[in-house]
Amino acid sequence: MTKANGNDVVRESQRSTQQHAEGPAAMLAIGTANPSGVVIPQDQFADNIFRVTKTDHLTELKERMKRICQKTGIEKRHFLLNEEAVGAHPDFLDRELPSLDARIDMVATAVPKLAHSAATKAIAEWGRPVTDITHLVFSTYSAWQAPSFDLRLATLLGLRPTVSRTILSLHGCYGGGRALHLAKHLAENNHGARVLVACAELTLVCFGAPDGSNLVGTALFGDGAGAVIVGAGPFREGERPLFEMVSATQTTIPRTEHVLGMQVSGAGVDFHLGIQVPTLIGQNIKQCLVDAFNTGSLVDAPPFSDWNDLFWAVHPGGRPILDNIDTVLKLEPGKLAASRHVLREYGNMSGATIVFVLDELRRRRKETEGDSPLPEWGAMLAFGPGITIETMVLRAPPLNEN
């Protein structure tokens, strides 16, 4: 074996350094989309779902559903599945009948198509050729095939055959946070990488007749897709960081697997949402934030003295979750306004929802920069099965810095 000389060591060190980006990853563009099929006002949802599923005779259950809908903080939701499609699939209404194959056939085309709508918006805003995308991370709870939606989306967009693809399946509501966390690492550890994060969710995989166990989930979830372009320095001509992704952590609350989860069966996906979820998140959220802000360069110089010094991008899993976070962190009114707006306008779109919140924050920042500017530092939170909490420290560079 030949012993390396000093110049060889230096050259190897330089090659290693060149593999890494300059500075933290950043979100460079954001796009969102909803199916154009059905928009149901929340105050009409109970009557609609019981009529469509031929369960109008369950009057007590319908009244219970109406009360739940009134408390959600949701005004309307978007759905791909329409009444005609439900009529063509009576197997969707009976959990004893196998319907998984039919559901897979429907989402195989619809989910990538919805993701494509969001991704094309993000790519257009980014302003770079689609061939500059080096990595694709796709998150969904509807993917049960191989090759999966990541390849179908790559084909629809015309990505290079050498694009590095990753599919995240059944992460549920923390899927968007997990995908962004992974994209941060990919961008920072691969010099010149540009990562497309895509999240798309359709409730038709879990659609069924209301019963005593699924009312809350039925009253909360809607359809949507979000996409984010993530990259790190050096930035190219026209690229403008929207949010720097400074540090990120993932925490699983011990012994909570039974509280929140999803199960795939012959009849589709069953959601289990325990009533303890908002309380458990509230009890653990402060430590998750402390851990995220005590990572890397922020350990010696935390950028805030009070939680109200930050801006907030929180997954609106439900109104009680947001209310608990407000209470635990003693947040001022309006701190979770972007999350509450998205919940009100779209409901909970699972992993895609956090992208809508980031888009809403970006929009509000642009509109109020002169009068009431967004704080420079912020936090992103997403929650899902496990119970798993994704936490990310964000920095919004001053507009003139971009």
User: Beta partners for 250?
Assistant: 390
Catalytic residues: 173
Q: Mind giving me the DSSP string for 230-264?
A: EEEESPPTT---SEEEEEEEEEE-TT-TTTEEEEE
Rounded Cα distance between 233 and 26, Å, is 9
Rounded Cα distance between 378 and 364, Å, is 14
Say what the pLDDT of residue 400 is. Answer: 65
Angle at 39 between CA 35 and CA 44, to 5 degrees: 155
Which residue ranges form the domains of the chain, and what is each CATH number? 26-233 (3.40.47.10), 243-397 (3.40.47.10)
Rounded Cα distance between 318 and 350, Å, is 11
Please answer whether residues 324 and 282 qualify as being in contact, where contact means their C-beta atoms are separated by less than 8 angstroms.
yes
Q: What is the signed CA dihedral for 74, 46, 108, 124, rounded to 10 degrees?
A: -30
Average pLDDT, 10 consecutive residues per value, the chain (402 residues): 40 50 93 94 97 94 96 97 92 90 93 98 97 97 89 98 96 96 97 97 93 89 98 94 96 92 84 88 95 75 81 97 97 96 98 98 83 85 95 88 58
Say what the pLDDT of residue 152 is. Answer: 97
Q: How far is CA 381 from CA 178, 184, 262, 285, in A?
A: 10, 15, 20, 9
Say what the pLDDT of residue 366 is. Answer: 85
Say what the pLDDT of residue 9 is. Answer: 34
Rounded Cα distance between 198 and 209, Å, is 30
Where b means 16+ CB within 10 Å and e means fewer, 12-49 reads eeeeeeeeebeebbbbbbbbbbbbeebebebeebbeeb
Averaged pLDDT score across all residues of the chain = 90
Selection from 315, 324, 298 nearest residue 384 by Cα? 315
Say what the pLDDT of residue 18 is. Answer: 55
Please answer whether residues 251 and 389 qualify as being in contact, where contact means their C-beta atoms are separated by less than 8 angstroms.
yes
**In angstroms, what is the C-alpha Rg of the chain?**
22
Rounded Cα distance between 153 and 156, Å, is 5
Say what the pLDDT of residue 37 is. Answer: 78
Q: Please, is 344 exposed, middle or buried when counting C-beta atoms within 10 Å of its C-beta (0-12, 13-18, 19+)?
A: middle
- CA end-to-end distance (rounded Å), the chain: 50
SS3 assignment, position 131: helix
Rounded Cα distance between 32 and 353, Å, is 9
